[in-house]
Structure formats: C-alpha cells, structure tokens
C-alpha cells in the first residue's frame, strides 16, 4: 500500500479527524489533506511523529501494509468525545494576555508618574551649565523604566507566541457555548472593574487632596489605580478575544512566515532605543540635542512598526 492509504487507514482506525491529527503534528489541516490526497508528502520529522502517534515503524508506514495490523480500540477516539485542547492553546493565550496587559499597565504608570512630577513642580529642563539647558534625568527615569518594563513584557509575549504559532499553526475550535458566554461576562466585568478602579483612584485623590491636604499622595494613588485599571481592562479584552480561534489560525499563518522577523526587529530597535536613552541621560548634552536624537529614534521606530503592521 502507499503512504496515503496507510495514513488514511490509521487515521480512520483511531476515529481521528484531519483537524485533530494536524494539531498533534503542528501543521495545518490543509497539509494533512494534501498528504491523504497524494499531492505531497510530509517532512522526515513529521513522518517520525506520525509513526510515534500511530505506533508503527517508518518503513512500514511508507512502503508497508498497515491494514493487517490489529486495531487497538482503546486508542480510538469515541464518536461522542468533545474536542479538547490538545495543544495547550488556552493556557498559552491566558499567559499572553497577562503579559500584554502588564505592558499597558507599565506605560500608564510611566506617563502618569511624569505628569505627577510635573504637577509637583519638577522641571524637565535644568539651567546653569556651560552646555546650556539640559534634560532633568529624574522624571525621565520613571518614563524609561516604564518603557523598559513594557518592552520586556511585549517581547516575552511576542517571542512565546511566535514559537507557539510555529508549533501549532492550526488549532481546532474546542470552545463551547458556555465558554463564549463566560468570556463575554469576563469582558463586561473587566470594563466595569476598570471603571471602578479609576473612580476609586479619583475618590482617593479628592479625599487626600481636600481633607488631608496631601495632593501628591492623592495623585500617586490615582496613578496606581489607573495603572491597575489599564491592566484589568486589557486583560479582560484579550481574554475575550482568545475565544476567536479562527482569527488565531489566520494570524498564525502570518507569524509562520516572515512577519515575525520584522516584528522582532522592531522590538529589538525599541529596546536599543531605551538603552540609548538611558545612556544619554548620563551625558551632558544640551536639551535640544537630546530632543533631536530622541526625535530621530522615535521616527525610525514609528516607521518600522508602521511597516510591520501594514504588511501584517
């Protein structure tokens, strides 16, 4: 028998769909369909994996006749068995949502901290040096630290997601109607919780500013609460979007190609920018020179990200 006949027989004997086999192999359903149609053959690593799944020898799989083997019904998938998450898609997407939400919280915290310092009268420019006005490093420490934290979270989320997409370019939709309903409730709850956190921060700021005469403390509480609100809102939104498995399959095909290289390049450029910005704060440069340098770097980063997302 030919390879395609053996594959068809073994898959049918296990009562396994093309989607299920594709997920176990880390390929698309179309690839399995082409193998069974005789239009193409799998690579050696996929052949070895097929032999491991169906417990046959490689030579027997390619040129032998597996129909004479006794079928182990204990290994067959029951007809009424629900589709399960055999790839670990759900825990991966939960982890990814947490990292991206953490990046949003870092950015809000950094921007809020700089705004708070400016409200307290901290000058962005320092005068009196022989080089003219220079940037005050103190407020920028908060902004750069937040940017570094956000970039770290995004880099971890992206690299792990690319690796997962390469290993599992196709995932069968295993979510039930109850899962969709729970996701919708979580999304709504996260929006309500985010609004509540923001309102709580505003209330604390008013109480500390008016009753306790501690405006800076109240604004600090507002920044922290807004950061938490950003984390909750982003996490709830991404947790609801994870249910859309079809959208994942479409994006996985893009990440399986060359787009991931460009995104990673953009993240590397952004990380180098943060390092350069940190270094520039320790050198006595005029404010206008640093603004010019930062403007050029920001333009390059914006162009890279715009190119990546437009091609994606």
pLDDT at residue 164 is higher than 70: yes
Bigger pLDDT: 141 vs 273: 141
178 located within any domain: yes
pLDDT score, position 236? 94
295 located within any domain: no
pLDDT score, position 104? 92
CATH number reported for the structural domain that contains residue 58 in this entry: 1.10.260.40
pLDDT score, position 94? 94
> In b/e form, how buried is each residue of 126-148, taking b as 16+ CB within 10 angstroms?
eeeeeeeebbbeebbbbbbbbbb
State which of 15, 43, 73 marks the end of a domain: 73
pLDDT at residue 264 is higher than 60: yes
Give me the mean pLDDT over the 209-233 stretch. 83
pLDDT at residue 260 is higher than 80: no
Structural domain that includes position 33: 3-73
pLDDT digits (tens, 9 = 90+) for 24-62: 787 877 888 888 888 888 888 888 888 888 888 888 888
Where does the pLDDT of residue 312 fall: very low under 50, low under 70, confident under 90, or very high at 90 and above? very low
pLDDT score, position 194? 95
pTM of the model: 0.71
Bigger pLDDT: 8 vs 70: 8
For 4, 248, 272, the CA distances from 32, given in Å and listed in that order, are: 10, 19, 42
pLDDT digits (tens, 9 = 90+) for 92-139: 999 999 999 999 999 899 888 888 877 766 666 666 555 556 666 677
| Residue 127 shares a structural domain with residue 152 | yes
Task: Enumerate the H helices of the chain as residue ranges.
Answer: 3-13, 18-25, 29-37, 44-54, 58-63, 89-119, 137-167, 177-206, 215-241, 245-255, 259-280, 287-311
Residues 289 and 257 sit within 8 Å (Cβ to Cβ)? no
State which of 207, 222, 253 marks the end of a domain: 253
User: Looking at residue 207, what DSSP letter applies?
Assistant: I
Q: What's the mean pLDDT when you consider all of the chain?
A: 78
Residues 273 and 297 sit within 8 Å (Cβ to Cβ)? yes
Count of domains observed in the chain: 2
| Residue 130 shares a structural domain with residue 199 | yes
| Residue 113 shares a structural domain with residue 225 | yes
pLDDT score, position 227? 94
């Amino acid at each position: 028998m030919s390879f395609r006949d053996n594959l068809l027989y073994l898959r049918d004997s296990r009562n396994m769909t093309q989607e299920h086999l594709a997920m176990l192999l880390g390929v698309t359903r179309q690839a399995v369909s082409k193998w069974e149609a005789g239009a193409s053959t799998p690579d050696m690593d996929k052949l070895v994996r097929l032999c491991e799944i169906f417990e046959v020898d490689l030579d027997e799989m390619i040129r032998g006749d597996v129909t004479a083997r006794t079928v182990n019904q204990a290994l067959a998938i029951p007809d009424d068995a629900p589709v399960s998450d055999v790839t670990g898609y759900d825990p991966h997407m939960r982890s990814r949502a947490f990292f991206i939400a953490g990046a949003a919280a870092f950015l809000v915290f950094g921007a809020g901290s700089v705004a708070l310092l400016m409200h307290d009268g901290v000058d962005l420019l320092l005068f009196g040096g022989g080089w003219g006005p220079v940037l005050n490093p103190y407020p920028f420490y908060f902004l750069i630290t937040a940017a570094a934290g956000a970039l770290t979270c995004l880099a971890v989320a992206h690299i792990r997601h690319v690796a997962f997409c390469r290993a599992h370019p196709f995932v069968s939709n295993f979510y039930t109607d109850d899962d969709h309903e729970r996701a919708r409730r979580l999304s709504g709850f996260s929006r309500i919780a985010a609004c509540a956190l923001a309102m709580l921060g505003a209330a604390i700021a008013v109480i500390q500013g008016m009753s306790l005469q501690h405006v800076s403390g109240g604004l600090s509480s507002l920044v922290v609460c807004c950061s938490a609100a950003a984390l909750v809102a982003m996490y709830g939104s991404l947790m609801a979007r994870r249910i859309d498995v079809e959208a994942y399959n479409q994006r996985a095909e893009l990440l399986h190609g060359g787009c991931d290289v460009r995104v990673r390049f953009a993240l590397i450029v952004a990380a180098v920018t943060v390092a350069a910005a940190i270094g520039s704060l320790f050198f006595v440069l005029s404010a206008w020179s640093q603004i010019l340098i930062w403007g050029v770097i920001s333009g390059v980063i914006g162009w890279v990200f715009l190119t990546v997302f437009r091609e994606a």
